[in-house]
Every structure is written in C-alpha cells, then in structure tokens.
Amino acid sequence: MLTQKLFGTDGIRGKAGQFPLDPPTIKLIGYFLARRLGSGSTIVIGRDTRESGPWIEEAISRGIALGGGRTIAAGVIPTPGVALLTKELQASAGLVISASHNPYHDNGLKIFSPSGQKLSDEMEMAISEDVTGIGPALLPALERAVDPPAEVNPALAQRYQDFLRARISAPLVPISLKIALDCANGAASQIAPQLFASLGAEVTVINAAPDGQNINQDCGALHPDRLQELVIASGADLGFAFDGDADRLMLVDGQGRLLDGDHILYLMTDYLSRHQQLTGNRVVATVMSNLGLEIALRKRGIDLVRTAVGDKYVLDELLRGGGAIGGEQSGHIILPEISLAGDGMLSALEILRVVTESGRPVADLAAGMERMPQVLINLPVSHKVPFEEMPAVTAELSRLENEMAGNGRILLRYSGTENLVRIMIEGSDETTIRGQAESLARLIDSQLNS
C-alpha cells in the first residue's frame, strides 16, 4: 500500500472537516505524533481564529492523550508564538492549528520541533505512514472517551508578547510614531494592538474583530489596499498588515505605497550591513524574490542566495550556510539569531528599530531597491510533464533567455498543490515581458492541454 503524504511545504492543510482534516484523521495524527515523540511527551497547542479551530484542537488533543502525551493550550496565538513557547517551555513539540492566509473554511496543522524549527521531513513521513497505514485499524479503539482537553492558559500568549516587547531596547521606548495595523481578523487581532500601544505608538487598527469566518477576508497581508487607504487618511507614518496566523508581514510607507517582503528584506539587510551584523554578507530568499532585490544587494556587495519556495527551505539554507536574515516576497521574514520562525510582529518591531534609530521615513529606507516589472501567469494543466521532456518548451526558454541578454529572469515551475504551471518573467519593460509570458503560456497550453 502506497503511503499518502499528508504534509506539504507548510504542514498539513485542507478543507476543515474533509480528509486529512476530518476528526478521525486528526485524532490519529495526534495519537501517532505523541507515540513518535515518546511516552510523557508534552505538546504546546495554539490556533488562529477560524471557527473550525476549537473542534480541531479538541480532536488533536484527544489523540495526543490517547498516545500517551499531554497538551499545553495557549489558545488564540500567532504561529511564531507557539514556536517560541515550545522552545522556552522545553516541550517535545509545538502544534499550530491554522491555514495561514487561506480562507476560513480551510485549516491546517503546523508542527514545530523543540528547537522551533518545522518538523523534519523524516518525522512527517513517519507520521504519514502511521496514519494512512496502520491508523484505520486503530480507529475503533481510539473512539473511547478521554479527559477533556487542557484549559487555555492566557499567560502563555502574554509570555510571547513580553518576548516581543523586550526586543525594543529602553532608549527606543516610547516610540513616537503613528502606526496603522491590519490584523486580518486573525491571531494578531488582540495581541498586536496591545503590543504596539504598549510601546507608546499612536495606533489605528482595522480588521481586528474575528467572528470565525472573516479571517483573511478582503483584508490583511493578501489584501492590503484598505490599510494603504488608512495610512493616507490617518496620516500614519507607516502601516503593518499581518496574515491570519501573523507569521508574515506586508509594510505600507507613509505615502501609502505597499512594500512587500523583498522591500523588507532590503531595508533590514541594509541596516544589518551598516551595523556589521550581516553574518556571511549574504541574504537568503526564494526563486520568487524580485530581480530588483538581487541587483540592489549586488550593488552593495551582498550576495543573494535563492531557494525553492517555502520559508522552510529558507530556514534550512540559513542554518546550513549561515546568515542573519532571509525571507520570502510574501512577507515571511526569518531572523535566525532571534527566532527560527517567520514572525510578522517581530519583523514589524525590527522595522520600527530601523526607522527610529535612523530618523528616516520608511519610503527613504526602501528607496535603494527598484522593483523590476514582474509578470506571473498561473496556467491550469491537465497533467504534469517535466519541462526538459518537452523540446519545444526548452527551445523557447533558450530563445527568450538569449533575447533578455542577462537583463531579465524566467521561472517556470509546477505548483506543488494544484494542477498549475506557474510562469514568471521579470525584465525592464512590462509590456515586453507580458508578451513573452503569454507566448510561453500558449505554447505550454498546446503541449499539455491538447
């Protein structure tokens, strides 16, 4: 029997109530996680604000108890908060119930090792084999009642907030800035307004009233337009938009301009470099980061190392080759000397440090990076064939690369979760690269969908 891999690049994710996020499978995941960790294991659990979160928490907690483990419930808390608590409490693992930036009807399970890193590939595969292999035969025995899940300890979320607040040293507090926040009706809804107000900032907040179904709904890091409008209307110095579990961040400058993860990487890298804190004189990003970031860093003698898409791969490269900062265009920023988890609020605090110490507005700090035009096409396909096995496609790629003459970049990859080809082209002229991308899409469509 072939093992069905449950884990993707960011844990287990899917429709709440459907496999693998149906109650019996969730209970099996908890059971085998506890068994793999060993008798007496302790697991910290946190969740975002989705309506499915409480019943998933109950199911996973019961499975953990049946597997011989115990849970520590942190309640609604950002994903990086669970990673921090797992390390500080010396727990066996941390588990977050969240589908990050996905809509409310989705959910997921992210599991952290004691170091705060995502669970290893080997452990993920072992749990997948357990659940899909011997798991079904055990289900009848696991249906018996157990004690209810542990009660939420509100002190745990406060412990995470205290950790964040301690990142801003005394000379910088109070922070005399006007800050606009978009909490995505998610895990940051309570903690973010409290945190930034406690630092002395004048805070204006939107999308901080979760109802279980409005998480990420036309708001937050994926939909920052309302925050851009708020920054201008309120005269804020800058704005921060989080996603549902607050592990990613989008930045808005005082002019209402959106600055993504690449801009954040640039301005924070520039700060670290000027303070001789840029370990290895390199930055780790993914293949999706804009060519403009690479050019801006190269001008400063800084190397950009690219990985596959996923903050897990960024962290792996940071730990393998060293580095003080890495991240994704989507707003996951990792500062491994502080935390091994992407943390939207930690990133926001570090941006505040840069702005406060420099006395310069965000727009000036990010001006050194000029974003290259980028066109992305997601093409549905009926099946997936390695690109190198399609001569017409490889010939067209070679022709386009020669045409660019080093002044552009092409990225062609299949989605890991959907039947899609992602075609991304960057270059100096948007009209030109859009035509190139559309031409390449038509060719691939003829090869795979005819």
Please give the helix or strand (H or E) that residue 62 lies within, else none: helix 53-66
Residues contacting residue 143 through CB under 8 Å, at least 6 positions apart: none
**Among 41, 52, 100, 330, which one carries the catalytic annotation?**
100
Which residues of the chain are in CATH 3.30.310.50 domains?
A: 374-448
Residue 179 to residues 138, 173, 213, 220, 384: CA-CA distances in angstroms? Answer: 52, 14, 26, 15, 46
Instruction: Fold for 12-154, please state it.
Output: Alpha-D-Glucose-1,6-Bisphosphate; Chain A, domain 3 (3.40.120)
Residue that the structure tokens 């996603």 belong to: 243
C-alpha distance from residue 72 to each of 28, 54, 163, 398 (Å):
19, 14, 19, 55
pLDDT of residue 183: 98
Q: Domain 374-448 in CATH: superfamily?
A: Alpha-D-phosphohexomutase, C-terminal domain (3.30.310.50)
Q: Is residue 100 among the annotated active site residues?
A: yes
Q: Which residues pair with 421 in a beta bridge?
A: 379, 414
What torsion, rounded to 10 degrees, do the Cα atoms 197, 201, 206, 209 define? Answer: 0
- pLDDT by 10s per residue, the chain, length 450: 456 789 987 899 999 999 999 999 999 999 999 999 998 999 999 999 999 999 999 999 999 999 999 999 999 999 999 999 999 999 999 999 999 999 999 999 999 998 888 888 899 999 999 999 999 999 888 877 566 677 899 999 999 999 999 988 878 889 999 999 999 999 999 999 999 999 999 999 999 999 999 999 999 999 999 999 999 999 999 999 999 999 999 999 999 999 999 999 999 999 999 999 999 999 999 999 999 999 999 999 999 999 998 898 999 999 999 999 999 999 999 999 999 999 999 999 999 999 999 999 999 999 999 999 999 999 999 999 999 999 999 999 999 999 988 789 999 999 866 789 999 999 989 999 999 999 999 999 999 997
d(CA 385, CA 126): 28
Number of Cα atoms under 13 Å in the Cβ half of residue 427: 23
* pTM confidence score: 0.92
Question: What's the rounded Cα separation, in Å, for the pair 322 and 334?
Answer: 12
Chain mean position to CA 26: 22
Length of the chain in terms of residues written: 450
Helices (H), 246-343: 261-274, 291-299, 311-321
pLDDT at 278: 97
Kindly report the backbone phi and psi dihedral angles of residue 201, in degrees, each rounded to the nearest multiple of 5, phi listed first: -75, 155
Query: At the top level of CATH, which class does the domain 260-346+355-371 belong to?
Result: alpha beta
CATH 3.40.120.10 domain extents, the chain: 12-154, 174-258, 260-346+355-371
pLDDT for the residue numbered 99: 95
Contact 262, 292 (CB under 8 A): yes
Ramachandran assignment for 216, one of left (phi > 0), alpha (psi -120 to 50 degrees), beta (any other): left
Among 3.40.120.10, 3.90.79.10, 2.120.10.30, 3.30.420.40, what is the CATH number of 174-258?
3.40.120.10
Return the amino acid letter for 147. D
Among 418, 387, 426, 175, residue whose Cα is nearest residue 289: 426
Do the Cβ atoms of 233 and 316 come closer than 8 Å?
Answer: no
pLDDT at 192: 98
